[in-house]
Amino acid sequence: MEIQKEAEIVIIGAGPAGLSAAISAALAGAKSIVLDENQMPGGQLFKQIHKFFGSREHFAGRRGFEIGQTLLEAAKELNVPVYLETEVLGIFPGQQIVCLKNGKTFEIKAGRIILATGAREKALAFPGWTIAGVMGAGALQTMMNIHRVLPGRRILIIGAGNVGLIVAHQARLAGAEVVGVVEARDEISGYFVHAAKVLRIGVPIFLSHSIKSAYGREFVEDAEIVKLDESGGQVQGSERCFRVDVVALAVGLLPQTELAQQAGCQLRYNAKLGGWIPELSENMETSMPGIYVAGDLGGIEEATIAIEEGRLAGLSAAESLGYAPKDKEHQKAEIKSRLAELRYLGEKKSLGLAASITGMISECRPGHRDRSMRAATSKDNGPEILIECPEEIPCDPCEEVCPQGAIEVGSPITNLPRLRERRCTGCGLCIASCPAQAIFLIDRSFSEDYARLDLPYEELPRPRKYQIVDLLDRQSRKIAKGQVIRTRLTKGFNKTAVVSVAVPQKIADSIRYIDCKD
């Protein structure tokens, strides 16, 4: 497909921000094209197999690769050309874009430009960091989820942000043994619910630790971690060595500002957003008129924010060309309102509300009933829903899926979910829909000695009816044996099974996972 040499709007980057910008501009009436250097569009979405947070507008409850497919289909229906394996070399005066494809350079004249170039992974230097098997967490995710290659069997993850925690969970689902997640800080920087998923499947998290060295001749064979003191110094004698063949680095992302900088866009430094980022107006326009930004280039945030920023940049660029939908101001106001809600959690964390793992787990202790302390439960008689959401995460699929309206999140979307106890029938639809896998059901009326516990489960093979399993607590400690009653998996559950297991009444509040290995 020959690339057109002129376009009203040229969007550089076919990730969630770029595709959303293309769709938004097309809906406003402008004609745009999308350029991407990769072999497939969708950016990071196509290696994301977990369910996303957010609301219906952000495709919440759907897996990342499904969201990518939806955005691509929407762009295709609007006749937006997406040109792949096309590298942008530079942006020059007069909105002239120089590209490289198939070894040949050519120019595209743009009316407006939207930069959605995303971010790249940070590296971490330590003895042995150049040995084969030391890689970025994103590279590990790409190999597992796109190429279906498991690069190692025993994996150590460095970094307990959302990326590190998510990749640790996905590596376990892929069949690897994750020996641990190492975090230099004394608290996790990712969502607690991601950490909770990792802990309950048996992956330890080492806070106030760092990697000291990796060892191996041709590839990684061992990795050594060490405890850090309050000043960040290594505590002598605290070293621990693990037999591993992969060390995955999830130590942060850097906005890819090269094109923005080359085009003359003014940058500013913001450590919380990843470093140097372009100065932006409220409509996502840079200091260079006609050049807009969306997504991680404007600051490292969630994919849901990238989608909203893309929508705003696309609408703003179209408006500047004279395409003015009657409700454009209403559309922009809604987008900005959603962005403000999504960023509310970040503001709360900046006030010091991120807690240590131990502290957060204590708030989800057995029998907890105090909603003001982060847990929501239903009535004591009959089925009882427990929602262990201890942070203001922007997410509401549990509210959307409940046919009785028993779960309320409301506005802002970062509200903790609350139960309307009398409406809850114990159907369990919320268990499978929860992206955080933080919802459970206990039916204490199952029998005199045993309660029925319903929990989310995504590992393979799935539990069999009547199978005897180990019952695990929130930190993967084996407490007792239980028996599988049934395993439900419907199309609406989107590959998250709901497993019902008979557990002793006395420990029903403590069980959060099962080990099905025979």
Spell out the residues 6+ positions from residue 177 whose beta carbon is closer than 8 angstroms to its own. Answer: 153, 154, 155
Q: What percent of the chain has pLDDT over 90?
A: 78
The values of phi and psi at residue 439, to 5°, are -120, 135
What is the pLDDT at residue 146?
92
What is the pLDDT at residue 372?
32
pTM score = 0.89
Mean pLDDT of the chain: 90
Helix (H) or strand (E) holding 210: strand 209-215
Q: Which tens digits make up the pLDDT trace of 117-138? A: 999 999 999 999 999 999 999 9
Give me the mean pLDDT over the 359-367 stretch. 45
Angstrom distance (rounded) from CA 459 to CA 364 = 24
Give me the mean pLDDT over the 401-430 stretch. 88
Helix (H) or strand (E) holding 315: helix 303-320
Q: Which tens digits make up the pLDDT trace of 212-224? A: 999 999 999 999 9
Give me the mean pLDDT over the 138-159 stretch. 96
Angstrom distance (rounded) from CA 366 to CA 357 = 16
Model confidence band, residue 381 (pLDDT cutoffs 50, 70, 90): low
Query: Does residue 492 surpass a pLDDT of 80?
Result: yes
What is the pLDDT at residue 186?
93
Top-confidence residue, 369 or 456:
456
What is the pLDDT at residue 345?
56
Domains identified in the chain and CATH numbers? 6-119+253-342 (3.50.50.60), 123-249 (3.50.50.60), 359-515 (no CATH)
Model confidence band, residue 363 (pLDDT cutoffs 50, 70, 90): very low
Query: Does residue 449 surpass a pLDDT of 90?
Result: yes
Q: Which tens digits make up the pLDDT trace of 276-289? A: 999 999 999 999 99
Interaxial angle between packed helices 192-200 and 162-173, expressed in degrees from 0 to 180 and rounded to the nearest 10: 30
What is the pLDDT at residue 1?
63
Beta carbons within 10 angstroms of residue 191's beta carbon:
25
What is the pLDDT at residue 351?
39
Query: Does residue 369 surpass a pLDDT of 50?
Result: no
Angstrom distance (rounded) from CA 430 to CA 453 = 14
Q: Which tens digits make up the pLDDT trace of 295-337? A: 999 999 988 899 999 999 999 999 999 997 888 889 999 999 8
Model confidence band, residue 343 (pLDDT cutoffs 50, 70, 90): confident
Query: Does residue 57 surpass a pLDDT of 60?
Result: yes
Tokens of 54: 């957010």
CB 481 within 8 A of CB 468: yes
Query: Does residue 420 surpass a pLDDT of 90?
Result: no
Cis? peptide before 461, omega within 30° of 0: yes
Helix (H) or strand (E) holding 498: strand 497-504
What is the pLDDT at residue 352?
40
Of 146-150, 288-292, 322-326, the range with the lowest mean pLDDT is 322-326
What is the pLDDT at residue 510?
94
Model confidence band, residue 380 (pLDDT cutoffs 50, 70, 90): low
